[in-house]
Amino acid sequence: SALRNIRLQHKARKTASYANKNLRIVLDSQEEKESLIESIEGLVNKINNKGFKPPVFKSRKDRHKMILELMVSDVHYGALTEREGKIVFNLEICRRRIRELARVTLIEIENNRKNYNIEKLIIAMLGDIIESSTMHEMESLVGCEFTNSAQVHHAIESLLEDLILPLAMTGIEIEIPAVTGNHDRTHPQKTMTQPGRHNVTWIIYNTLKLFCSRLGLKNVQFFIPEECFLVRPIFGNNVLYEHCDEVKAPTEKALEDLGLWPPK
């Protein structure tokens, strides 16, 4: 009948529209990945030929041990914030703040090593490293200075040159637990299936790990989970690192409900 033919045509159009939408998502994702690869290759060519040899950090037996911990969270490389026509946050300001963070940490190290043996420095990278120009589609794009591939590029460059290298050159053993955050994704929908591996922080952290290895920074060690959390020991105690995007309250029960605690 004519009605049946109309229904079949409508269904065919819906199927084609759905297929085209999925195809666009796949193509956009592939284009984004290719741009990221090109950005990382550019960083490799820029940084790979530099040589660094951290000094040996000497300890004294007559001093107590100390572990220093630096929290690096919600940096949001790529975010652009304006207030009354004035830029209050962009890449230039972001990198200036990261360099200041490194400078203050170096002062803390120097002050504390007068009285303690600094056993290690923990640089806890807790996610939301980039702003993401696509996580909320157009709303995210208007709040960004540039797109995701450039955000990843600048995040890697800045975290290495402005933060890790200056601190690594103290010679102190550095551990970097590195978990993902909710802004480190490229799609509107969050994934609970290995978000640590599927978000762009997987690229950022593993590229930083590669650079540190290539540059001969033997005192820098990364711990990069495939999940959204990581448990590491400090002086015999377990410490949970997580961005807390999914945790509803800062309580042990909230962590248990998500299966994050106690550590397996």
pLDDT at 189 over 90: no
Binning pLDDT at 50, 70 and 90, where does residue 253 land?
A: confident
The arithmetic mean of pLDDT across residues 70-82, rounded, is 96
pLDDT at 10 over 80: no
Burial 134-159 (b: 16+ CB within 10 A, else e): bbeeeebeebbbbbbbbbbbbbbbbb
Global pTM reads 0.81
The arithmetic mean of pLDDT across residues 195-201, rounded, is 92
DSSP assignments along 71-124, one per residue = EE----BTB-EEETTEEEESHHHHHHHHHHHHHHHHHHHHHHTTTEEEEEEEEE
Q: Widest CA span of the chain, in angstroms?
A: 95
The closest alpha carbon to 225, from 211, 206, 249, belongs to: 206
pLDDT at 91 over 90: yes
Other beta carbons less than 10 A from residue 257's beta carbon: 14
CB 84 within 8 A of CB 77: no
CB 185 within 8 A of CB 128: no
pLDDT one-digit tens code per residue, 146-171: 999 899 999 999 999 999 999 999 99
pLDDT at 31 over 90: no
Q: Which two tokens stand for residue 180?
A: 């993902």
Binning pLDDT at 50, 70 and 90, where does residue 14 land?
A: low
Give pLDDT, residue 4.
61
Task: State the chain's mean pLDDT as an integer.
Answer: 84
The arithmetic mean of pLDDT across residues 117-143, rounded, is 92
Q: How many residues does the chain have?
A: 264
The arithmetic mean of pLDDT across residues 70-95, rounded, is 96
Range with lowest mean pLDDT among 7-16, 93-102, 177-186: 7-16
Give pLDDT, residue 255.
75
Q: Which two tokens stand for residue 237?
A: 């105690």
Range with lowest mean pLDDT among 45-49, 114-118, 132-136: 45-49
